[in-house]
Structure 1
Amino acid sequence: MKRRSRLSETIVTPSPNAVIANYISSPLAEYRGNPFIEALPPEVSYERLAVVLPERPPYDESERQLPSHLRAHCIQRMFQYFEPLGRHFDAGMRLDILMRTGYRKRNPMTPEFRRRLQEIYQMSQRQDFDGAGLDTLPPSMSMTLIGVSGTGKTRSLRRTIAQYPKVIWHEKYQINQIPWLIVECPPDAGIKQLCLSFFEAVDLALGRQHYALQFGAKGVTTPQRILEVANIARIHAIGGIIFDEVQYIRSARGTAREEVLNFFVTLVNLSGTPIVLVGTMAAQELLQADFSKARRGAGLGGLVWTRFDHTDEWDYLMEELWSYQWTRKSIAFSPEISKVFYQRTQGVVDLAVKLYVLSQYRAMITGEEEVTAELMEAVAGDEFKLLKPMLDALASGDPVRIAKYDDLRPLEFEKVLEREQLRMVEKIDVQALRRRFEQEQASKRAQILEMLRTEGLTAEMAELTTAKMFDLSPEQTTKQAVPEIVKIVGKRGRAPSRRREKAESSEPSSLPKEDLRKIVAERGSNCTAYDALKISGAVGNPVWSDME
C-alpha cells in the first residue's frame, strides 16, 4: 500500500514567530499586486544596507581606565565587529533582487500557484516521481558565493536577511510566508541529512516541531523527501534558500555528490524558489563544473571573494577596527600598523580581528598597555604558527603552492563577469555612505532636541532622552521619536511653567524674613500662627485686652 502524503494533514495556523501581513504597493509594475512581495519591506537601497549591514560593538573611551580583568571582557566585543565593504553591499543588493524575482512566478492570487501545489502533491501521493516529463517552471534566478574563509560571506548574508521578518502571516490566503531560510549542509553530504537540515530550519523559523518529525522518520523514501522539500518551500512561499558550507558535498562518496547537485536543480524546478550556494574555495570544482551544467548558478552570477588587496579599502577597514582600543595608552593608526595587519593576515579580515584581540591581551598581560607594530609582529609569530604555511602560500601568489590548501585556492571565472563585478563594487563608496548617514543622524538629532524643548522638556532631559533613543532605535523618524519621548518622560522632565515659577517664588525659603507667610511657615510645632505673629511683633494685643 502506498504511503499517502502527510502534508494533507497539516493544519495551517499563524506561526508564533509571524507578523501580520501589511501590504504596500510596489513602485515597480512587475511586483505590483503580488501579496508575497508587497508584504515585504521596500526594495533595498545602498543607503538602507549602510544601516542594516554594519555591526559595531559598544565602546566607551572611559572603559580604558577599568581594571584589566574587566577590560578583558570588553575586548571580546570585537568578535561582534563587522564593517561592510563594497562586496558585502553588492551581495546584499543581489539577495533582495533574487528573492523578489523568484516571487514573480509565485503569486497566490493566480490559478498557477494552486495548480503547482496540487501537481507536487499528487506526485508525492503516487510516489512515482523520477523527474521525467516534469512540467517545470522557467529557471529561477540563483547564485553562488565562494570565498576564502574569514571574508564575511555568511555574516553579510545573515545581516542582509535579518531586515526581513522571519515569518509573515497572510490571513486571506492562510499562508505562513518565510522570506529567507538558511540551511547548513551536513558534513556527511547525504540527501537524507540535507533534507532533514531543511525540515529543521523550517521548523525553527515557524517556531514549531513539525516537519522534521513527519518526514525525518523511517519509511519515507528519498524521492518523497525531495518532493516534500519542494512542497514545503512552495506552501510557505520561501523567498530564497541559502545553502551554506556546500564544500561538504565535495566529500560525498559514490553517486551521492551527483544526487545532491540534482537535488538542488529539482528543488528550483519544482518549487520555483531561488537558491544561494555558499562555500569556501574548496567548492570551486563542484560549483564551477558540476553545478554549472544545470545552469542554475548563473542567474545573478557566481560571486568570488578572494582575500582583500592592500588598498585604501583595507586601510579604511583596519582604521575602523583600530578605534576599539582598551589599552591604557592610545596609539594612533598608521600606515605601518596597516602594513603589519596585511602582511600577517594576507587580507583575511577574520584573522585581522583575532590578531588585534590577541595583541591587546598581550599588551595588558605584559603591562606595556599599548599595541605597537612590533607587538603585533611578535603575537602573530607566536599565535599564527599553524596558519603560517597557508599564509605564506597566499603571500607568494604561486598557484601551485596555493592549490595545496583547498580553502584558499583562487577561482578563474569568466573575465567578463569579473569585470562587471568590479565595476559594480567600485561604484559603492562605503565611506561616503557612512558620512552621509552620520550627517543625517546629526541633523535629525538637532531637530528632535529643538522640538523637545518646544514641548517643554528641559535641555538636560531632552539631551539625555534623545541620546537613549538613538542608541535603541536610530532609524526612527523625527515625527515618530518626539511624541514617543514626550510620552515616556511625561511631566518629570518638563521645564517649569509660569504658574509653577510663580508658585516656586512663594516658597518660604525664598521670602524676606518680615514676610508674614515666612513667619507663619517657620513657627514651631507648639506655636499657633497667631502666637507666631504676636511674638514677632507683627500684631498687637486685642482691643479687649487693653480694656481689662
Structure 2
Amino acid sequence: MNGFTTANYLDAQIVEYEGQPLINALPPINSPQQTAQLVRRIPEIKAEEVVLPAHIRRHAMLRIMDGFLYPTKAHLQLEQTISSMIRQGYLSRNIADKSYQETLNKVSQMSASENRNAGNEALVSSVIGCSGAGKSTAVEAILASYPQVIVHPEYQHFQLVWLKVECPHDASVRSLCINFFRALDNALGNDGEYERQYVRPRSNVEMLLGDFARIAALYSIGLLVIDEIQHLERSNSGASERILRFFVQLTNTIKLPILFIGTPKAYELFSPSMRSARRASQFGSINWNRFNASMDSGKGTEWDRFFAQLWSLQWFKHPQPLTEEVKALFWDCSQGIAHVAVTLFYLSQVRAVTIGREVIDSALVKDVFNSELHIIRPMIRALQSGREQEIQKYSDLEIPKAALIQNQVTARPIEHEASSIPNIDASPDKLVQLVNMLEQVGIGSDIAPLVAEQAIDELPNGNLIDWIAHVRQLEDEAPPKPKPKQKKPKVVKLPPRYVDNDLRLMMQTNESVYNVMKRAGVILQISDYI
C-alpha cells in the first residue's frame, strides 16, 4: 500500500460533479497560476558547488538536464485538457451508483474484434510535436500532481487515476498489452503479478485485449496516456488500425479518456474515425510547437523568458550577463527546440569550466554545437532553411503543412497587405469543400490540401467551379507519364546437353540402374578396400 492515497472527498466544485466519489477524491481544479507554479522546476545552485573542481562541478550541472522545466501557455492548456478529460470520463463511472456494475458487465461482453463507431469521441485527444519539444516531460509533470492510486475503503475500490503506457517499437498488439500490464503492475506494486497472470504463451491477441479492457474498467483508470504513438507507423500488418479501433472502443464502452503523445510522423496515422474523434473532441488536439520568436503583448517572447531562466543556471564563480548576441545564437542553433537549447547550454557550460575559462561566448557555443551536437546538425539546418521540402525529410521535426490545413488546426498569417491575402482567409470552409471535392474526383488525400491551396493562390477571386477547372487544366498540362516497360520475352527452354557417363542417361534405360552404374564405374566395391 506504499504510495497509495486514501480517498478524501472534497466538496463538488460544479453541480455535475456532486455525488461522484471518483471525481471528488481528486485534488481541486487548478487555476493557471497554480498550474504554472506546479509545473515550474528550477534546479538549485548551492554556493559551495561553484568552487568545486570542474570534474565534480559538471555532475552538479546535470540538474539542468534533469530538473529544469519552464511553464509556457502550452503547459497551461495541456493541464486544463488533462483535468477536464479525467473528470468528464468519470461522469459515467459512478462507483456509488448501480450503473457502475452495468458498465463492468458491458466490458465482460466486449469483443476486441468488434468494430463499433466511437460514441464518445470527445474523450480522445492528442499532443503532437517535434522531438525534444518537451511533450512527454510536460505530461509527466502534470500527471505527477495527481495521486496515481486512490483507495476508497467505503466502496472497497481502487482507483487508478492515470496510467502512462509506451507504444511498442514493433507496433504489435501483444507488445502493447505487455507494456500495459507492466505499467499497471508498477503502479499497483504487484511485482509483475498481472503480467504473469495474463501474458501467457497461449494468450492470443483477442484474449489480451479483452483482459486489457476489463482491468482498465475494474480499476477505474481516469486517463490512459499512450506515448510514442508514431511507432504504429512501422506496422505493415494492420496492427496499427486494430490498436486504434480498440482504443476508440474503450472510450465508447467504458468512457475511458485516451491521450496520445507523438511526433509529427504520427499525425497521418489515425484512421478516418480517429480524425473525426479529434475534430469532435471538446478538448482539442494540442500541437506542441517549438518556441517562436514573435512578440507577445510587448513582454517579449516565450523564448526570451525561457532562455533568460535557463541562462540564470550558471555554476560559475562569476555568472555572466545574458547578451542579445548569445541569445540569438542559441536560437539559431536550437531553432526553438527546448531540449536542444538545454543540452547545448549544459555542454557549453561544461566545456567552459573544463578549459578553465568560465565564459560562454559565441565562439565556444559554435564549437560545442559543431563538435558535440553534429548528429542533429542536418535537422537544425533544415529548420534554418525554412523550406518545407527540406524539413519534411525529417519526419520528427514539424507537422506537414497539408495535415495542418486538412485538419483545420492552424490558420494562415494575416499580417500581410490585403492584396496578398487569398479568399480562403475570409472563408476557410471553402478550402475544406475544395479538398473534399478533389478527393472525390480521384486526387489522393495526401496531396489534395496542397493542390487546393495552390489553386486558390493562383485564382484568388475564383469559386469552387473555377478552382476545380484550374486543377483539371494543370493535370492536362502535366507531362505524360512514362510508358510502362515492355515485358521481357519468355526464355525458350533448350533441350538438355549430356556429357559422358551422364547420370540422367543412366536413369532412362530399361536395365537395372544399379547394373548400369556399376558398369560405368560409379559404384565402388567395398571388398576392394577391406
Note the C-alpha offset of 1:62: 4.5
Which residue of structure 1 aligns with residue 60 of structure 2?
A: 74
Return closer, same or farther for 1:410/1:47 CA change in 2, 3 Å cut-off: same
Q: Is residue 2:393 matched to residue 1:404?
A: yes
Residue number among 134, 138, 152 corresponding to 2:134 in the alignment:
152
Which residue of structure 2 aligns with residue 259 of structure 1?
A: 242
Q: Is residue 2:110 matched to residue 1:108?
A: no
Which residue of structure 1 aligns with residue 10 of structure 2?
A: 24
Distance 1:58 1:177 in 2: 35
Q: Is residue 2:350 matched to residue 1:324?
A: no
Note the C-alpha offset of 1:205: 0.7
Question: 5 Å matches for 1:505-524?
Answer: none
Which residue of structure 2 aligns with residue 182 of structure 1?
A: 164
Note the C-alpha offset of 1:104: 0.7
Return closer, same or farther for 1:243/1:323 CA change in 2, 3 Å cut-off: same
Note the C-alpha offset of 1:67: 2.1
CA contact (8 A) 1:25 1:33 kept: no
Distance 1:41 1:84 in 2: 20
CA contact (8 A) 2:265 2:399 kept: no
Which residue of structure 2 aligns with residue 533 of structure 1?
A: none
Which residue of structure 1 aligns with residue 498 of structure 2?
A: none
Q: Which moved more, 1:263-272 or 1:86-95?
A: 263-272
Which residue of structure 2 aligns with residue 229 of structure 1?
A: 212
Which residue of structure 2 aligns with residue 90 of structure 1?
A: 77
Letter in 2 for 1:77: R
Which residue of structure 1 aligns with residue 284 of structure 2?
A: 301
Note the C-alpha offset of 1:298: 3.0
Distance 2:45 2:411 in 1: 39
How many residues get paired? 401
- SS at the partner of 1:183? strand
Which residue of structure 2 aligns with residue 314 of structure 1?
A: 303
After superposition, the C-alpha distances for 1:167-215 in whole angstroms (9 at most, x for unaligned) are: 1011122111011110011101111111111111111111113221111
Which residue of structure 1 aligns with residue 472 of structure 2?
A: none
- SS at the partner of 1:408? coil
- SS at the partner of 1:193? helix
Letter in 1 for 2:250: L
Distance 1:387 1:376 in 2: 15
Structure 2, gaps ≥5 residues long: 295-300, 413-530
Return closer, same or farther for 1:230/1:137 CA change in 2, 3 Å cut-off: farther
Q: Is residue 2:345 matched to residue 1:356?
A: yes
After superposition, the C-alpha distances for 1:57-113 in whole angstroms (9 at most, x for unaligned) are: 111345322222221111111112111111111111110011101111111122221
CA contact (8 A) 1:327 1:363 kept: no
- SS at the partner of 1:145? strand
Distance 1:193 1:308 in 2: 35
Distance 1:68 1:275 in 2: 46
- SS at the partner of 1:267? helix
Note the C-alpha offset of 1:220: 2.4
Distance 2:147 2:87 in 1: 15
CA contact (8 A) 2:177 2:208 kept: yes
Distance 1:339 1:249 in 2: 37
Question: 5 Å matches for 1:403-422?
Answer: 403-411=392-400, 412-413=403-404, 417-418=409-410
Letter in 2 for 1:23: Y
After superposition, the C-alpha distances for 1:413-447 in whole angstroms (9 at most, x for unaligned) are: 35864469xxxxxxxxxxxxxxxxxxxxxxxxxxx
What is the aligned-residue RMSD (CA, Å)? 2.2
After superposition, the C-alpha distances for 1:336-359 in whole angstroms (9 at most, x for unaligned) are: 111011001111110111111111
- SS at the partner of 1:321? helix
Compute the TM-score of the two structures, normalised by the length of structure 1: 0.70
Note the C-alpha offset of 1:140: 4.8
Note the C-alpha offset of 1:299: 3.9
Which residue of structure 1 aligns with residue 154 of structure 2?
A: 172
% identical aligned pairs: 32
- SS at the partner of 1:285? coil
Residue number among 253, 262, 274 corresponding to 1:279 in the alignment:
262
Which residue of structure 1 aligns with residue 454 of structure 2?
A: none
Letter in 2 for 1:413: L
Note the C-alpha offset of 1:257: 1.9
